[in-house]
Chain A
């Protein structure tokens, strides 16, 4: 007897592929925002599945802060070749050189905030009318109300108080000239779903995500990789630790976790276990001090 229902991962996959195809059908110049992080890797993989055996009918956009992990860049170039898609790079360095944005200074300087300008400039320059992103609703409170098809006005702004209702699987991508959409196919996925999917579909991910030996410093509880962009404070001495990364952002601001998880199975076990210690204590129980510390160390928020 066959089973005529799907596992939760297959249902999420099917929903995401439907949304991605809807973008290709409703928009003239869509693009996929690729950060090198696990969420955008899943998106690229889903896009490949959605249009097989044809190529993905839209380019990837990478907003290059100039502060990337070398592993991310290596993976990006490999993936682009593998998928046979075009890559559009929006360079934050260029935005700085052109005077569009001003580089932050000081010991904690970051290019994180500058990305937005480069992104909007890139979207405008390439006349992108739908930018597909890997954001998930479980990430934070405001995101809990984000739509799959999220309308942006001609200034690229989101008006959360005036969103279009989104019913069934009927996505309204109609817009005026100059407006665009952000589309979030994996809205309903959680961090755990992403890891489980990467595992069950055997998707290659950057080596950063697996435990490896790395030269790091510990600053304000966060484990940071040494890099040309990390200015050491007095008293900070780099040391080798066995770590992995849970996210894949800019090198100077992405915290690592100490970990021995060097396979996908071990990572999933670690994510599951950390959820228990992170989330599982009862209010009347005494909270484990180390769990909280681990969490802060991970730089998760």
Chain B
């Protein structure tokens, strides 16, 4: 069964990120001929004797040259084993918010290190964001091996340094691979020039990394999204709760409890369209009916009696501030969490993170764009949540500014 793997890349022009993406698209035969012809032409115009694959993702580069907003671009390719969605984000410090956005839906982060330069600030920053957003898998690509004569010593030194640094991060699955995106070594096919490297090529890693356990299948959570009431003759009494399972497994017959009401019932039936299912798990979109006629509406959470979400109004978060306008304690927002929207207030900034040194900055009185900080918020009504570490769906929220309606902050519940 073909699975979907979402991964994020981050990097500057110089570390070969665009070339690597171009290489993956090219070698997996996901490039159209006219695209290829266009970049062949521009490559030869520039006097290159090779096809500059970085030109495939050129959109982003020209944007930077023009100094306008750089954003997340999504790209797609497939192999017979998996389908891939790449969230391609630029890597400079001012683009933290884009990296956070791209990372929020990713199962895997590709971190690129230039073999000549070793670990640089950007490496720490990307790795920290991957760990903050709880991307379950990291692949560190030591790139441009062709420029260091494919020497094992260079690779070993970099991986050793990275291991030492990453022990401070909360990432459990890190793999390393020496590559040259330009020449294609170890990208799709094993390199003949690095016989000392015993591992797999990058694409093989992407095709086989174990993502089946990335979803939480333990703590059952069903945020109700929409109440389906046909109000037709045939289905007069039908009342179904539509939503996407956020965690755990629900089966027909299971005893369930609804929040905030606390009413208990049993799952009667589970539908996907007209098809009746025996069970539903994350991330399936289904419609559930219950045995009892209890009052459940959008924003409520259905869980199991022995495993409740936390219910609080004072909530500690790590947030990434995403708006030009700085923010101070006391400001109010709409907080959107799963399918629930409540008002909230920023109570306190506990500390900011220096994402290059991973040091805490105490006594911050405001947050500016791209800041990452630990804060406390208070909501007008309780939220029903889990820690982000436990569940990325029930542990995340966004802050929306009243008035402009812009999404200004992204929060991960501690």
Contacts and interface: CB of A to CB of B under 8 A. Distances in A.
Interface of A: 2-15, 17-18, 21-22, 24-25, 48-55, 137-138, 141, 144-145, 160-170, 172, 174-176, 187-188, 190, 192-193, 275-276, 278-281, 283, 287, 291-292, 295, 301
A287 B104 CA distance: 40
A13, A165, A175, A295: most-surrounded residue (chain B CB, <10 A) = A165
A25 B34 contact: no
Contacts of A51: 226, 228, 242
A49 B33 contact: no
Contact of B249 (A4, A163, A291): A4
B283 interface: yes
B31 A167 contact: no
Contacts of B398: 167-168, 170, 172
A6 B235 CA distance: 30
Nearest to B242: A21
Interface string B327-362: 000000010111100000000000000000000000
A184 to B, nearest CB: 11
B59 interface: yes
Instruction: Name the 4 nearest CB pairs between A and B, nearest first.
Output: A49-B273, A174-B405, A54-B230, A8-B4
A25 B298 contact: yes
Nearest to A146: B74
B101 A167 contact: yes
Interface residue tally of chain B, by bracket? 35 or more
Contacts of A174: 334, 400, 405
Contacts of B249: 4
22 contacts: A6-B284, A11-B283, A17-B285, A21-B242, A49-B272, A50-B242, A52-B228, A52-B271, A52-B287, A137-B76, A141-B59, A144-B73, A144-B75, A145-B71, A167-B410, A172-B405, A175-B405, A279-B29, A283-B36, A292-B34, A295-B34, A301-B34
Interface of B: 1-4, 26, 29-34, 36, 40, 51, 59, 68-69, 71-76, 78, 82-83, 85, 97-98, 100-101, 104-105, 211-212, 215, 217, 225-226, 228-232, 234-235, 238, 240, 242-244, 249, 271-274, 279, 281, 283-285, 287, 298, 322, 334, 336-339, 392-393, 396-398, 400, 405-407, 410
Q: Binding site of B, secondary structure by majority: helix, strand, loop or mixed?
A: mixed
Contact of B105 (A160, A164, A168): A168
A195 to B, nearest CB: 13
A9 B34 CA distance: 28
Nearest to B51: A283
Given A163-B71, A167-B101, A193-B83, 19 more contacts: A2-B279, A5-B3, A5-B215, A8-B3, A14-B244, A21-B225, A21-B242, A52-B273, A54-B229, A55-B230, A144-B73, A165-B410, A168-B104, A172-B407, A190-B76, A279-B36, A291-B33, A292-B34, A295-B32
Contacts of B32: 278-279, 295
A131 B58 CA distance: 31
Contacts of A165: 97-98, 100-101, 322, 407, 410
A53 B244 contact: no
A145 B2 contact: no
Contacts of B230: 53-55
Contacts of B396: 167-168, 170
Contacts of A283: 26, 36, 40, 51
A160 B59 CA distance: 13
Given A4-B215, A172-B336, A174-B405, A292 B274 contact: no
Given A167-B396, A168-B392, A168-B396, A22 B225 contact: yes
A166 B31 CA distance: 27
Which of B2, B274, B392, B405 has the most A CB atoms < 10 Å from its CB? Answer: B405
A201 to B, nearest CB: 9
Count chain A CB atoms within 10 A of each CB in B68, B211, B242, B271 and give the residue with the most: B242
A278 B235 contact: no
Contacts of A192: 78
Nearest to B249: A4
Contact of B2 (A8, A55, A160, A166): A8
Most buried by B among A8, A13, A163: A8
